[in-house]
Each structure stands twice: as C-alpha cells, then as structure tokens.
Amino acid sequence: MMVNENELSFLQKLDEMLKGFILSTLEFHELEEEREFDILPRGDQPETLKCRVELKCKQMDCPCYESQDYRCWLVAGTLCGGKPQGAFAQKYKSCFNCRIFRQFTDTTINSVYENIGIVIKHLGDKTKYIRELAIKDHLTGLYNRNYLGFIEGREIEAARRRSAPLSIIVFDLDNFKSVNDAYGHLTGDEILKAFGAFLQKQTRASDLLFRLGGDEFLLIMNGTDEPQCRFLERRLLEAVEEWNESGEKTIPVPLSFSLGSATTPDPRNFEELMEEADKKMYAHKQSKSERREGLKASA
C-alpha cells in the first residue's frame, strides 16, 4: 500500500509514541514513579486552529489555555475523564461530537493515530495511578512500607558507593492510642495527616519520608552525617512546639512525637540501622513518660 508524505509523517510519530510508552513502562524504577514520557506530539496542530476561539470558551473554562496542545480531551485527562470540560460542556455531549475533535480525525489514518494516542494516554494515567497505590500511603501521601522494601538496599549501596554517610530517623506519635480512644479514628487520621505534612515541611525534597504503618514514620537522609542528623532532631522538636502554638494547628490535641536516629559513615545493612534508631526512639519515649510521672508526683 502506498502512503503519501503526510501519512508517513503520522506513522513515524505514531511509532515514536508507541516506543515512548513502551520505554516508560520498561525503564520505571523506584525513584522514578513520577517520571512521564511525553507521548503527546506537540506543535503539529493546524496553525489556524484555536478551539477556544472557535467555540467561544472563556479562558478560565479551557483546560488547554496554558498548554501548547489543543487536545483538551487528553490535556484534561483521557477524553476529559468522560466529562466535557468548562464551557465546552454546554456545546457538546461528548468529545466525538466536537468539530475540533473531528478535525484531528478527519481521515482514517488520522483517526487511528489519534485513537492510539488516546489509548496510550489512558494506559499511562492508569499505570501512574496503580504505581501511586503501590508505593504511597493513601492517608498521608508519604511513601509506604512496600516502597521501603524496594529501596532500602539501594540507599545503603548508594551511600557506600559515594563514601557518604546515611542517616535515618524513626518517629512514633505520643499517646496516639489514647487520642484515638478519646476522639475517634477520624481525628486520629487528621493527626496522622498533620504530622505527615509537618515532616514534609521540615525536610528536604531529596529526603525520603515514609509512614510505616499506624503512627510510625521514617525519614531517610542519604549524605547526612551524625552532627547534621542530631541538629535536625533538635530542630524538629523545637519546630513542633512552635507549630502547636501557631494558627496552623487544626487538631484538638498538641502534636507530640518521640524520635530516634542512626547514622553510619560506612553503611551496614538497613535492619541494623532501624534497630539502633528504634532503641533510641523508645528510650526517648520512656524518658518523656518518666518526666511526666515525675511532674505529677511533685505536683
């Protein structure tokens, strides 16, 4: 079958899209869960096509206004997530009825090209969603224990390869069970979310934060030595006191936690680091409990 130059160009772009999607699934690894391959061709729309102008949509209603691509059915989600967006919703019942959409699918080859693009975008969105479910804690948005299992060995190896220290801090919320019993699990969930947000605000983008389950949290800091780790511990304990007194606090009880750290310039296995940090965390929790009991006895 003979194809003209325009059709050949479309086929080449289609091939690039398919390769990009295949690579995006093959090359995924632990720290690249946010990575996306650009599977949408850019800059190939007809120069005269201004869909928001033709359809007289308000700028605020147009999901493509800040985008170089006029494919709102992809920019706003695969076929706009099944729901036409903005002012478009008053003009058409579905993307397939839109004359702009039809301009992209005016021939068989164009239609095949666009439909495969829609399928790739849809599968990419689903893949990203499934990855998020697999490695993120749904309540706090932090990484979960599953993800820790993937990367703990890699973090040790990365530190050893760079001859860099590796530090971790484990956290445990104080009296969390009592708060749950007194205020209910919904309030408990709000406390967990508040603590996750607090940790994110106080740490670097390169640090890895986990909710291990219940009220246990973990911070991994590659390249952080013991003095830096101890400084961060003090800063976190000071910052939570400030947070409790600030207008940011929306939970009915003060946010309180115990912590413990472990650092090694020559990383061993991760289990040893966790065991050391856990011991220090429980010692911190015990010292706080004893201090409270002492205050009660002296009152």
The answer as to whether 140 is a domain residue is: no
The predicted structure's pLDDT at residue 39:
46
SS3 of residue 84 by DSSP: coil
Please state, in angstroms and rounded to a whole number, the distance separating the CA atoms of residues 24 and 36.
7
Catalytic residues: 215
Please compute, for residue 23, the number of CA atoms within 13 A of its CA located in the half-sphere on the CB side.
Answer: 11
Burial (CB < 10 A; 0-12, 13-18, 19+), residue 138, is exposed
Q: Is residue 149 part of a domain?
A: yes
User: Quick check: helix, strand or coil at residue 258?
Assistant: strand
Number of domains in the chain: 2
pLDDT at 99: 80
- 191 and 255 together in one domain: yes
H helix intervals, 164-225: 176-183, 185-202
Query: Hey, what are 241's tokens?
Result: 């006191």
Look at residues 61, 55, 75 and name the one whose alpha carbon lies nearest to residue 117: 75
Share of the chain above pLDDT 90, in %: 38
- With a CB cutoff of 8 Å and minimum separation 6, the contacts of 258 are 171, 172, 174, 281, 282, 284, 285, 288
Q: What is the pLDDT along the chain (299 residues), one digit of tens a residue?
A: 566 777 677 777 777 777 776 766 655 444 444 444 444 454 455 554 567 677 777 666 677 777 777 778 887 778 887 777 766 666 777 888 888 788 878 877 778 878 887 887 888 788 888 888 889 999 999 999 999 988 888 888 888 788 889 999 999 999 999 999 999 999 999 999 999 999 999 999 999 999 999 999 999 999 999 999 999 999 999 999 999 988 777 888 999 999 999 998 765 688 889 999 999 999 999 999 888 777 666 66
| Domain's final residue, options 135, 157, 188 | 135
pLDDT at 60: 66
Q: Which residue among 135, 154, 180 closes a domain?
A: 135
130 and 166 both lie in a single domain: no
Full domain range(s) for residue 234: 145-298
Residue type, 265: P
Per-residue pLDDT, 88: 61
Residue 247 lies in a domain: yes
Looking at the fold, whether 232 and 279 belong to one and the same domain comes out as yes
Question: What is the model's pLDDT at position 89?
Answer: 62
Q: What is the pLDDT of residue 150?
A: 84
Distance CA 263, CA 162 (A): 15
Whole-number pLDDT of residue 77: 78
Q: Please, which residues bridge with residue 217 across strands?
A: 171, 211
Which of 203, 208, 190, 172 shows the shortest CA–CA distance to 252? 190
What's the pLDDT score for residue 133? 85
The amino acid that residue 78 corresponds to is T
The CA radius of gyration of the chain, in Å to the nearest whole number, is 26
